[in-house]
Each structure stands twice: as structure tokens, then as C-alpha cells.
């Protein structure tokens, strides 16, 4: 075969191409959000808010670690979640 493939050329169906990996700290953020939501539901049934605070601490930690790595786009995703859920967690709009 004498054909040379261009680096930008896609070959095969789009679903076979590797998708960009999600940053591991964003995966931790997702887990923290799930834990927060579960703890919030438990608190609505009379439990203490300790689980919520621990989950929010994990979310905040992911935010600051992403900033330390220079991953500002990913950190912005967390900051937006924090801002949009300020009324739920009650810790202010700014992380």
C-alpha cells in the first residue's frame, strides 16, 4: 500500500475512536457529589449533617487540587456546581 494516511484523517466508525479520559479528580468529584446527595437525603429524614460536610470537604479538596495542577477548566466545573448548589449546602456561593 502506497497510501499514506494523514495524521488528522479518521479511519473507522466514530464510536471506535478513543474518547478523552475524564480527569481522575473529576471522578472523585462525582463520587463526592453522590455522597453529598445521599447524605442530604438522610438528613432530611432526621440524621445529622456530618456526612454532608465530609462529602463537601471532598468536593472542595478536588477543586483545590485541580487548581494546583493548573487544570482550571476542570476546577471551573466544580466551582459551577458549588455555586449552583449553594442554596442546598448553605456554605456560600464561592468555594
CA atoms of 46 and 35, how far apart (whole Å)? 17
Q: What are phi and psi of 66, to 5 degrees?
A: -65, -40
pLDDT tens track of the chain, all 95 residues? 445 444 555 566 666 667 778 889 999 999 999 999 998 888 777 777 888 899 999 999 999 999 999 999 999 999 999 999 988 888 888 98
Q: What are phi and psi of 76, to 5 degrees?
A: -65, -35
Contacts 24+ apart (CB under 8 A), 49-56: 52/89, 56/32, 56/89, 56/91
3-class secondary structure per residue, 43-69: HHCCCCCHHHHHHHHHHHHHHHHHHHH
Amino acid at each position: 500500500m502506497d497510501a499514506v494516511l494523514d495524521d488528522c484523517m479518521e479511519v473507522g466508525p466514530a464510536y471506535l475512536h478513543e474518547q478523552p479520559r475524564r480527569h481522575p479528580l473529576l471522578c472523585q468529584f462525582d463520587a463526592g457529589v453522590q455522597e453529598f446527595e445521599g447524605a442530604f437525603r438522610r438528613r432530611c429524614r432526621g440524621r445529622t449533617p456530618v456526612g454532608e460536610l465530609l462529602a463537601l470537604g471532598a468536593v472542595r479538596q478536588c477543586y483545590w487540587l485541580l487548581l494546583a495542577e493548573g487544570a482550571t477548566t476542570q476546577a471551573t466545573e466544580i466551582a459551577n456546581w458549588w455555586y449552583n448548589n449553594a442554596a442546598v449546602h448553605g456554605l456560600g456561593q464561592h468555594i
